[in-house]
Amino acid sequence: KKNDFSGKKILITSGATHEAIDPVRFIGNHASGKMGSALAAAFAVRGGMVTFITGPVTAALPQGMHQTIQVQSAREMYEAVMQLVSEADVIVMAAAVADYTPATVSPQKIKKQSAELTLVLHRTQDILKAVGERKNASQLLIGFALETENGKEHALKKMEEKNADAIVLNMWEDGKTGFGGDTNRISV
């Protein structure tokens, strides 16, 4: 149906997050934002009022969004999602959010000084879990998982622990699927 999401508020996260080490370096992953952008565009074409929250991406930003919010870090994404989640009918958490962030960020570029550099990392806030704890019975929450092993078991556990209604499982296949390509293999 062309307008089956008409009047529905859709919240989608997309892309990676970049956790600063210093002004020029970060910890991140290879997420391109293609999946989140494609989902956001599909919801918009079907009449949804889409709020698109994205970390840094290589994919083009989708057109026809009600609102687009660009963030850098897991903390910024958490804050943007928490401000808007109560208004959403459907929440799609497609972003590849960093699980850890540096404990301190150097105000200047870190120079090569010794053969090793140790970074202390702290866990980031779990956005999917926080949304799952706050969602009401009328909201649909869809999470994403990328796994390299035991995918189904990890995805089912994640769905239960995060109080999601569904999990989209991406299986990593040594660069053939998972990040940035036009081909992907998923299970819901």
Question: In this structure, what are the phi and psi dihedrals at residue 16, rounded to the nearest 5 degrees?
Answer: -100, 175
Q: Clarify whether 150 is annotated catalytic.
A: no
3-state secondary structure 35-84: HHHHHHHHHHHCCCEEEEEECCCCCCCCCCCCEEEECCCHHHHHHHHHHH
Amino acid letter, 148:
T
CA distances from 136 to 45, 88, 127, 140 (A): 26, 10, 16, 9
Question: Quick one: tokens of 9?
Answer: 């508020």
CA distances from 73 to 80, 84, 124, 143, 151 (A): 11, 17, 10, 19, 26
Instruction: Supply the DSSP symbol for 83.
Output: H
CB 19 within 8 Å of CB 125: no
The closest alpha carbon to 42, from 80, 89, 5, belongs to 5
Q: Which of 29, 136, 150, 184 is catalytic?
A: 29
Residues known to be catalytic: 29
